[in-house]
Amino acid sequence: MSFLSYLVSGISLGSIYALIALGYTMVYGIAKMLNFAHGDVIMVGAYAIYTICITWGLPPLVGVLGSIVICAVLGVVIEKVAYKPLRKASSLAVLITAIGVSYLLQNAALLIFKSDTKSFTSVVNIPSLDLFDNQLHIQGETIATIVVSVIIMIALNLFINKTKPGRAMLAVSEDKGAAQLMGINVNSTISLTFLIGSALAAVAGALLCSSYPALSPTTGAMPGIKAFTAAVFGGIGSIPGAMIGGVLLGVIENLSKGYISTQFSDAIVFGVLIIILLFKPTGLLGKKINEKV
Amino acid sequence: MQKEKRQLKAATKSNIITYAMLIAAFIIVSIICATNDKMYQFKGMLVPLCIYSIMAVSLNLVVGILGDLSLGHAGFMCIGAYVGAFFSVLLKDNIPLDWLRFVISLVLGGVTAGIFGFLIGIPVLRLRGDYLAIVTLAFGEIIKNIVNLLYVGVDGSGLHVSIKSASDLNLAEDGTVIVKGALGITGTPNDSNFTVGFVLLLITVFVSLNLINSRTGRAVKSIRDNRIAAETVGISVTRYKLIVFMISAFFAGIAGVLYSHNISSLNTSIFGYNTSILVLVYVVLGGIGSTRGSIIAAVILYALPEMLRDLRDYRMLIYAVVLILLMIVNNNEKFNLFKEKISITRFIQNRRNGMKGAKS
- With a pLDDT cut of 70, the percent of chain B lying above it is 87
Domain assignment of residue B284, yes or no: yes
ipTM of predicted complex:
0.81
Chain B residues closer than 8 Å to A222 by CB? none
Residues 6+ apart with CB under 8 A from A214: A117, A118, A119, A120
The separation between CA A6 and the C-alpha centre of its own chain, rounded to angstroms, equals 21
Identity of residue B354: G
The reply to whether B69 touches chain A by the CB within 8 Å rule is yes
Domains: count for chain A: 1
Please give the pLDDT value at position B208.
Answer: 92
Residue range A62-91, pLDDT digits in tens = 888 999 999 999 999 999 988 888 888 877
Burial status of residue A178 (CB atoms within 10 A of its CB: 0-12, 13-18, 19 or more): exposed
Question: What percent of chain A has a predicted confidence (pLDDT) above 70?
Answer: 93
Q: Is the pLDDT of residue B348 over 70?
A: no
Mean pLDDT of chain B: 82
How far is Cα A64 from Cα B235, in angstroms, rounded to an integer?
Answer: 57
Report if residue A285 sits inside a domain: no
B133 contacts A93? CB cut-off 8 A:
no
B316 within domain boundaries: no
* Closest approach of B46 to chain A, Cα-based (Å): 25
Would you call A277 and B149 a contact, using CB atoms and an 8 Å cutoff?
Answer: no
Q: Which among B254, B19, B286, B2 has a CA at the least distance from the CA of B114? A: B254
Chain B nearest CA to A129, separation (Å): 35
Inside any domain, residue A261: yes
Residue of chain A whose alpha carbon sits nearest to that of B143:
A267
pLDDT tens-place string over residues B32-87: 888 877 777 777 888 889 999 999 999 999 988 988 888 889 999 999 999 998 88
Nearest-Cα distance to chain A for B149, in Å, is: 8
pLDDT-derived band at A292, boundaries 50, 70, 90: low
Q: Which domain holds residue B25?
A: 21-311
Inspect the interface and report whether the beta carbons of B281 and A92 lie closer than 8 Å.
no
Return the pLDDT at A209: 85
Is A113 within a domain?
yes
How much is the CA Rg of chain A, to the nearest whole Å?
19
Considering only CB atoms, which chain A residues are within 8 Å of B321?
100, 104
Q: Which residues pair with B161 in a beta bridge?
A: B152
Q: Please give the average per-residue pLDDT across B113-125, as a whole number.
A: 85
* Contact yes or no for A86 and B142 at CB 8 A: no
- What residues of A are in contact with residue B277 (Cβ under 8 Å)? 36, 99
Does the residue A142 lie in any domain?
Answer: yes
Output A180 or A135, whichever has higher pLDDT: A180
pLDDT, mean of residues B94-122? 87
Does pTM top 0.90 for this prediction? no
Asked if B311 has any chain A CB less than 8 Å from its own CB, the reply is: no
With beta carbons less than 8 A apart as the criterion, state whether B80 and B112 touch: yes
Backbone angles phi, psi at B162, to 5 degrees: -145, 150
Instruction: Enumerate the residues of chain B whose CB falls inside 8 A of the CB of residue A100.
Output: 320-321, 323-324, 327
**Which chain B residue's Cα is nearest to A286?**
B131
How many angstroms away from the CA of B298 is the closest CA of chain A?
15
Contacts of residue B145, Cβ cutoff 8 Å, sequence gap at least 6: A263, A264, A266, A267, A270
In terms of residue numbers, what domain contains A73?
2-279
pLDDT in tens, B215-274: 999 999 998 888 888 888 988 888 898 999 999 999 999 999 999 988 878 888 888 888
Cβ separation of A263 and B142 shorter than 8 Å? no
CA distance A252 to A10: 7
Q: Which of residues 64-123 of A touch B (CB under 8 A)?
A: 82, 85-86, 88-89, 92-97, 99-101, 103-104, 106-108, 110-111
The pLDDT of residue B222: 92
**CA atoms in the 13 A half-sphere facing the CB of A59:** 3
Out of A147-156, B65-74, B163-172, B316-325, which region has the weakest mean confidence (pLDDT)?
A: B163-172
Does B235 reside within a domain?
A: yes
**Maximum Cα–Cα distance across chain B:** 88
CATH number at residue A212: 1.10.3470
What's the whole-number mean pLDDT along residues A145-169? 89
Kindly state whether residue A292 falls inside one of the protein's structural domains. Answer: no
Say yes or no: A267 contacts chain B, CB-CB below 8 A.
yes
Would residue B332 count as lying in a domain? no
- For residue B78, the model assigns a pLDDT of 93
Q: Which residue of B has its CA nearest to A283?
A: B131
Given a cut of 90, whether residue A274 has pLDDT beyond it is: no
